[in-house]
Structure 1
Amino acid sequence: MTWQALFVNTGNTCHLMKCTTELEYLNICPVPKQLLIIVSEDESQPPFKHYLLGLSACKHGRQLGQVSEEAKIPESDILDFSVSLNPLGSPFRFKESGLDIEALLEKATCKLEQYPDNRYIELRTAASRFAGNGVEPDNIVPGNGSCELLRLILESVVDEGDIVIVPMPCPAEYYRTCEALGAVPHKIKLNEMLQLPKRTLERAKVIFFSNPNNPSGDLVSRDRIREFALRCAEQDTLLVVDESFIELSDPSQSVADLAAKRDYLFVTRSIVNAFSLPGIRFSYGITSLPLAARLNAARLSWNIGSVTEEIATAVLSMEGGMNSNYLVNSRTFIREERQYIIERLSSLYGFNPLKSNANFVLVDMKEHFMDSEYFTKCFASRGIFFRECSDFFEGQKHFIRISVRSKDDFEKLISRLDDVYAEFSREEAREKLVETLEQGPERVAATRGTCGYYPCHFLGQDCTFCFCPFYACSDERTGGEWIDSAIGGKVWSCEHCTLLHQPKVAEKILDVLMEDGDTDENIRKAWIEVVLPLL
């Protein structure tokens, strides 16, 4: 590996030096603070900082356009349970908001040919009033989305190698922002965050904490956050509280007013989720006057465009602010529909919806017979999209996040369950069949010693076809029948069919299926030649 060092001396003269070892580099360049260090294995590669070389582009689950293309369904026909937005839609659809989108766009258009006033006085004033008593415009740091604010904070506070504590689970952007700036993210379980010992706090430069948490929906009380913030400040550790969903949860638990008075507390807010405006990238930070002044000096000079500025100022200035009719109605709707979702899912096998105080519900599918990735894919092909959460849980594929929508929309999701289960059964049957055919005559059928469910039908049964290759045959002469499903429809049950587990029958079917030719054709042939005569 070649180390390239760009040395800048006090005369502002640059010298590019190359060395093959770190020791050689240190001998040549003894004053690291005067260097931009670049590491690469190939001198023709771009001159990136070494901690960026392994960074990959961020992916936030599957995108709606991708699902639309794969399922061949127009985006407008897809029920999207994946986004964590206000289910009532933007306030521009809410008659009582008094907002006129056309007038705002016309006003913004008049400013397209001039640079914005990067002080953003009106916007910061609207944000301070919305945040509540004790917050002044000079406490506000405007940002082009939460990601920009997080990056601004870390750019201004951490050095390479500094420790940043992040909750587990949390959005992947927390980790990525740390890694992109050379900081070291330390993951701590969410339920352990507020009990971190003094030694851990003093080692960390920054701590990220989301309230309510995404994706769990857990909400921590204002008093507990305040107590934790005091402990962090004692160790000169900056606590960043992400309140992106607080407006749709319980605004009384916000610590925004406390952040306005404390140097080691920074609160982030966003209009994206609260007002269902993902196309308007505006978030804002709330912190003490000294810290806000430094961050406003360090942020990009013109980070908010004219259209975003006009729309964000308008929605934050709605009459009633945090308790506008629009947001009060939103919280009521979310609370009622969320409870319905939790109760409905709790009654179905394999779903464990967790308690939530946000506009989404995290569902644990650990006991389900399908993993979250396959489950999500099956629904996406049917025009229903929700958030698969393996990226939140370090690859564990048993969590999905379902956003709150109306009962009617949710019942459309539930109504697709039987179709998804039928597809899963057919695919499982095909996979098991392929495995069986590959084993051939030497196969070892499941027995008392290899299957925890043996015997599921009768002693001495043949388990070659644990998943029936003829599912769903719909022939009640087999002993199978249509039964009422847990969701209200009908589903084909093979519970009382034992034909394929009779050793001689299983052997004859396997002989046909192993013949040369198309597998699907062989399945039809086996049904006609072996099963039908038995019926």
Structure 2
Amino acid sequence: MLPDAARRGKRVPHGGESDQEVLDFSANTNPGTPDGVEEVYAEALEESRRYPDDDYLEFRAAAAEFVDCEPDQVIPTPGGLAAIRLAVEITLEAGDAALVPYPSFGEYAREIRLQGATPQFVRYDELLEVGTDLLEGVELAVVCTPNNPTGEAADPDALEAFATRCDEAETTLLVDEAFLGFTDLRSAATFDRENVIVARSLTKLFGLPGLRAGFAVASGERRDAFETARRAWSLGTPAARVGAYCLQQEAFVRNTRERVVSERERMRHALERRFDVSPSDAPYLLCDVGDRSVADVLESAREDGIAIRDATTFRGLDSHVRVAVKDRESNDRLLAALDVLENGGETGE
């Protein structure tokens, strides 16, 4: 990170609501957590009187099983964003260029600029079509799948073909899979390519965003660079123990995926009565409010105790909001606040 870039840079707006009295639809986290998490956390807290085991063997094994890679390819990080920062730091130097999707997660461009490199923006739905001619001279390409805030997941075969072109151009491919666990799509970790880095977040899928647990997947020289660059004790004992436990809760993951698919479709049908809703494979929906004022939509929902995400902070969006997909009762409160709930709570066709 360049000191001057840090002094000139700005923070990026995110979802998340600090008022506990407000129902938060601005952050896309699971409303539930796996049974037994409290007990695992309590035991880990008692063990936190000592430094963590910096090898994190249990965590690496659980993460590797979850994404289908080898345990030594897993690099523990305090959240997915920490994995993204490490990937940028070990890849880019001042003056380098990086391809970044838009509209998408604003932290990519921020981290690239903090390294003194230059983000080159490409429409998220055109990025996988980029050829080797444009990739040449680009040190890093970033893909978000499912893309945030639009929700579409990349086709794994198309993504793997793009990874091949990146390899031919000697470009590192960073795949942010923060929300891929909400789908049954395979991880880019299965590509087993040395030019591919995967960033994963545990805390969204398992409803524990404050725990700060995630990991990167890398191989070859990039894996060695990650292992050298990561901070010692990069996960606290509670995060490592709870993270490993959650990654093994297959029934919870399966039930979460089924609920998200069902509720997302129900919400989409309802929201389309007022808004233009983007297709989504993620636990959120992007809504174009059209001629309505985004500020008015946000304020109206807030008056009913609901926080939703102002999506105009994403590059290329000027009339959009994003809403999370939660449990049925909470979703009905959102739909009622947006005046699209009908028939006493039934929104299906």
With normalisation by structure 2, the TM-score equals 0.92
Q: Does 1:212 align with 2:150?
A: no
RMSD: 2.1
What is the letter of the counterpart of residue 33 of structure 2?
S
SS in 1 for 2:200: strand
> For each residue in 1:92-127, what CA deviation from the matched residue of structure 2 results, as whole angstroms up to 9, or x when unmatched?
3xxxxxx3522x234323332322222211211111
* Shift, 1:234, TM fit: 0.4
Q: Does 1:387 align with 2:341?
A: no
1:405 to 326, 330, 344: 326
Compare CA radii of gyration and give the structure with the larger one: 1
> For each residue in 1:224-275, what CA deviation from the matched residue of structure 2 results, as whole angstroms up to 9, or x when unmatched?
1110000000011000111111111233x422211xx211011111111111
2:268 to 337, 342, 345: 342
2:188 is matched with which residue? 255
CA distance in 2, matches of 1:122, 1:254: 20
1:424 is matched with which residue? none
CA distance in 2, matches of 1:305, 1:178: 27
2:256 is matched with which residue? 330
CA distance in 1, matches of 2:11, 2:315: 18
Contact preservation (8 Å) 1:340, 1:407 = no
CA distance in 1, matches of 2:255, 2:174: 29
1:161 is matched with which residue? 95
1:356 to 275, 280, 288: 280
* Shift, 1:201, TM fit: 0.4
2:50 to 86, 90, 114: 114
CA distance in 1, matches of 2:251, 2:127: 35
CA distance in 2, matches of 1:218, 1:146: 19
2:34 is matched with which residue? 91
1:270 is matched with which residue? 201
> For each residue in 1:182-203, what CA deviation from the matched residue of structure 2 results, as whole angstroms up to 9, or x when unmatched?
1111110012101113221012
CA distance in 1, matches of 2:127, 2:309: 25
What is the letter of the counterpart of residue 207 of structure 2?
S
Q: Does 1:235 align with 2:189?
A: no
1:101 to 31, 35, 38: 38
**Matched-pair identity in %:** 29
Q: Does 1:198 align with 2:132?
A: yes
> For each residue in 1:36-90, what CA deviation from the matched residue of structure 2 results, as whole angstroms up to 9, or x when unmatched?
9xxxxxxxxxxx73323321233314x412xx3xxxxxx2x42221121124x11
1:377 is matched with which residue? 299
SS in 2 for 1:293: helix
* Unpaired runs of at least 5, structure 2: 345-349
CA distance in 2, matches of 1:362, 1:487: 21
CA distance in 2, matches of 1:377, 1:192: 34
Contact preservation (8 Å) 2:332, 2:341 = no
Structure 1 ranges of 4+ moved more than 3 A: 485-489
Q: Does 1:57 align with 2:57?
A: no
Matched length: 344
CA distance in 2, matches of 1:249, 1:106: 30
Distance 1:317 1:250, change over 3 A: closer
Contact preservation (8 Å) 2:146, 2:179 = yes
With normalisation by structure 1, the TM-score equals 0.61
CA distance in 2, matches of 1:411, 1:170: 27
CA distance in 2, matches of 1:347, 1:100: 39
CA distance in 2, matches of 1:384, 1:228: 40
2:61 is matched with which residue? 125
- Alignment map for 1:411-430 (pairs within 5 Å): 411-417=332-338
Distance 1:317 1:409, change over 3 A: closer
Q: Does 1:317 align with 2:270?
A: no
CA distance in 1, matches of 2:81, 2:127: 22
> For each residue in 1:383-404, what CA deviation from the matched residue of structure 2 results, as whole angstroms up to 9, or x when unmatched?
111111111135x431111111
* Shift, 1:213, TM fit: 0.7
Contact preservation (8 Å) 2:67, 2:187 = no
* Shift, 1:147, TM fit: 1.6
What is the letter of the counterpart of residue 341 of structure 1?
M
CA distance in 2, matches of 1:121, 1:256: 18
CA distance in 2, matches of 1:397, 1:377: 17
* Shift, 1:376, TM fit: 0.9
1:300 to 218, 231, 238: 231
What is the letter of the counterpart of residue 327 of structure 1?
V
SS in 2 for 1:191: coil
- Alignment map for 1:37-56 (pairs within 5 Å): 49-56=3-10
> For each residue in 1:296-347, what CA deviation from the matched residue of structure 2 results, as whole angstroms up to 9, or x when unmatched?
11111121111111111111233xxxxx221111111111111111111222
1:82 is matched with which residue? 26
What is the letter of the counterpart of residue 293 of structure 1?
D
CA distance in 1, matches of 2:4, 2:223: 31
* Shift, 1:209, TM fit: 0.3
* Unpaired runs of at least 5, structure 1: 1-35, 37-47, 69-74, 93-98, 319-323, 419-484, 490-535
Distance 1:129 1:161, change over 3 A: same
> For each residue in 1:401-420, what CA deviation from the matched residue of structure 2 results, as whole angstroms up to 9, or x when unmatched?
111124443332333346xx
* Shift, 1:168, TM fit: 0.4
Q: Per chain length, whose mean CA-contact separation is higher, i.e. which structure has more relative contact order (CA < 8 Å, sep 6+)?
A: 2
